[in-house]
Amino acid sequence: MPRSKIATGILFASAVLSTHLFESAGAQERGLSGFTPIDAAEVLQGYTETSAPQVDQPAPGANQLPQLQDTPPRTRRPGTSAAGSSSPDFLRGRQLADTGPRRGRQSHQSLLAPAQFHGNFFGTSGSISANLDVQGAKRFSADIPAAGGNARFNIADNNKGVPQNRVFTDYRHFNNAIAAGSTDPGLPSFGRRQDLDSFLVGVEKTLNEDELISVEIRLPFSGNADINQPGYVVSAGEFGNIPILWKQAILLEDSYSVVVGSSLITPTGGDVTGQIFGSPFSVNNEAWHLAPFFGGILTPQLASTDGFDSMLPGVTKLLSRTTFQYFGSVDFALNDQEVVLPGEQPGGFREPTLMFLSSAVVVNLFDKATAKHLTRLDGSVELHYAKDIGGGSSFNSSSSPGSLVFSQNGITDLLNLTAGLSAEIHRNTRIQVAAAAPLAASDAWNHRAFDGELIVSINRFF
């Protein structure tokens, strides 16, 4: 893969982030430009030339001014609750800004406390198929793992519906994720039988004083996306496509948030080169993707009442420790993936438009802000749905050994279940472990992107 593609993506992402940072710094400098410098010598000279004012001592027994209390200064930012207002425990919305930033913000700690979405998504760029006989009765099909199997992603992967300040890393192991096979009895039957390991590092940073907007950059790569099966050999590279995300909170309160934004997925990942039954081919990873999204968080704030608790004992307490999260997005390709075959004009195929819907329920199992190490423990259950809503196209070739077809992959509907635990250390580091599994039957390969997934993620908030 040309190194220039990776460098271009990183430079573009850096330019977006640095532009906002310079604008913020410039705004602060302009705010100070209106002040007139003070000559300290003139002030001191004027003070010494005049007699110091005499302060009358209060008579014995007179009312004295109260002693000032040694309390930390308030550091609330715009958008937080007013100083001095009463607040319940932070599971129901307490602001913790008075003690300095925690979990990556200085406001709305109740929304930052619960676990992130774990996520689940894996999707190859497309598929290739070939006729093995004249009648087309025997056919071979396989995935095209462009960008090292990291061509697209779900906004719900290690994310949350509120702008954050964090650096993070992910490891995902997909069991039986890459598919290949044939209807020829002499070749392995079609199925998903190759594992894939995926990694990424990323950073998210808020851009304004109100902490209502953030920019996020992810750098994905994989370890074993190459395929080596009878009749089909593919080299897919290691680097994935770099997504750049913009997220803005349009509603942000102590107990709920609503965010909107968009991700631009840049084609920085590796191209695919290979052979299918002796015929060489290549698929150049050229497609840009745009994925607008929405999301949010809800932390119920319930007042305990004798009547309610008597009918459903413990429900109020359970709901006060429960957080609901959601994301939705539509990912569509802006251009085609290029196909190059010897002796033919280059062509291309369009990846399909995908719709993602994700929801999660997070329950707090332990919380103690003053604990020495483990300050919070959460358990979560998530549902993730992905659907092909059209827009894909194919490229047909007459190359030997039979008619080659490059097209979108065969996935039509995916419904996956994810469950995991999240441990918070010192209120600024979150370690999450989860497992994901498809809910479709094992023989419905077009409804399964993998057989199982292990997810480990670490978020460091600043």
Element (H, E) at 421: strand 413-425
For residue 177, what are the domain limits?
Answer: 101-461
- Assess whether pLDDT exceeds 80 at residue 90: no
DSSP 3-state assignment of 39? coil
Pairwise CA distance, residues 203 & 198, whole Å: 17
The answer to whether residues 334 and 287 touch, using CB atoms and an 8 Å cutoff, is yes
Pairwise CA distance, residues 69 & 177, whole Å: 62
Pairwise CA distance, residues 458 & 423, whole Å: 10
DSSP 3-state assignment of 140? strand
Q: Rounded to 5 degrees, what angle do the CA atoms 298, 301, 306 make?
A: 145
Pairwise CA distance, residues 45 & 49, whole Å: 6
Pairing mode of beta strands 232-235, 272-276: antiparallel
DSSP 3-state assignment of 177? strand
- Assess whether pLDDT exceeds 50 at residue 83: no
Q: In the chain, how long is the greatest CA-to-CA distance?
A: 114
Do the domain assignments include residue 64?
Answer: no
Do the domain assignments include residue 21?
Answer: no
pLDDT, average across residues 212-233: 90
Q: Rounded to 5 degrees, what angle do the CA atoms 208, 213, 215 make?
A: 105
Reported as a pLDDT band with limits 50, 70 and 90, residue 58 is low
Do the domain assignments include residue 73?
Answer: no
User: pTM score, two decimals?
Assistant: 0.78
Do the domain assignments include residue 53?
Answer: no
Q: Give CA separation, 208 vs 109, 176, 205, in Å.
A: 17, 43, 10
Q: Give CA separation, 316 vs 26, 30, 368, in Å.
A: 48, 50, 20
**Partners of residue 363 on adjacent β-strands:** 322, 379
Using alpha carbons only, how large is the chain's radius of gyration in Å? 29
pLDDT confidence of residue 289? 97
Reported as a pLDDT band with limits 50, 70 and 90, residue 34 is very low
Between residues 186 and 373, the one the model is more confident about: 373
What are the structure tokens assigned to 164, written together?
A: 């954050």
| Burial (Cβ within 10 Å: 0-12, 13-18, ≥19) of residue 56 | exposed
Helix count (H) and strand count (E) of the chain?
5, 22
Output the 3-class SS for 69-88: CCCCCCCCCCCCCCCCCCCC
* Number of independent structural domains in the chain: 1
What are the structure tokens assigned to 399, written together?
A: 């190359």
CB neighbour list of residue 346: distance below 8 Å, 6 or more residues apart = 338, 339, 340
DSSP 3-state assignment of 130? strand
Q: What is the CATH number of the domain that holds 119?
A: 2.40.160.40
pLDDT confidence of residue 10? 57
Residue with tokens 């957080």, as numbered in its chain: 323
- The closest of 130, 136, 214, 223 to 180, measured between CA atoms, is 130
- The closest of 282, 271, 394, 407 to 341, measured between CA atoms, is 282
Pairwise CA distance, residues 130 & 289, whole Å: 28
Do the domain assignments include residue 65?
Answer: no
The alpha carbon of residue 390 and the mean position of all alpha carbons in its chain are separated, in whole angstroms, by 24
What are the structure tokens assigned to 104, written together?
A: 């990556």
Do the domain assignments include residue 92?
Answer: no
Pairwise CA distance, residues 461 & 424, whole Å: 11
pLDDT confidence of residue 120? 85
Report the range of poorest mean pLDDT among 46-60, 155-169, 393-407: 46-60
Pairing mode of beta strands 347-349, 139-144: unpaired
- Assess whether pLDDT exceeds 80 at residue 56: no
- Assess whether pLDDT exceeds 80 at residue 92: no
Pairwise CA distance, residues 233 & 421, whole Å: 39
289-303 confidence digits (pLDDT tens): 999 999 999 998 755
What are the structure tokens assigned to 98, written together?
A: 């008075």
**Partners of residue 265 on adjacent β-strands:** 243, 289
426-441 confidence digits (pLDDT tens): 989 999 999 999 998 6
445-455 confidence digits (pLDDT tens): 667 888 999 99
What is the chain's mean pLDDT, rounded?
78
The answer to whether residues 413 and 387 touch, using CB atoms and an 8 Å cutoff, is yes
| Burial (Cβ within 10 Å: 0-12, 13-18, ≥19) of residue 400 | exposed
Do the domain assignments include residue 239?
Answer: yes
Do the domain assignments include residue 404?
Answer: yes
pLDDT confidence of residue 312? 65
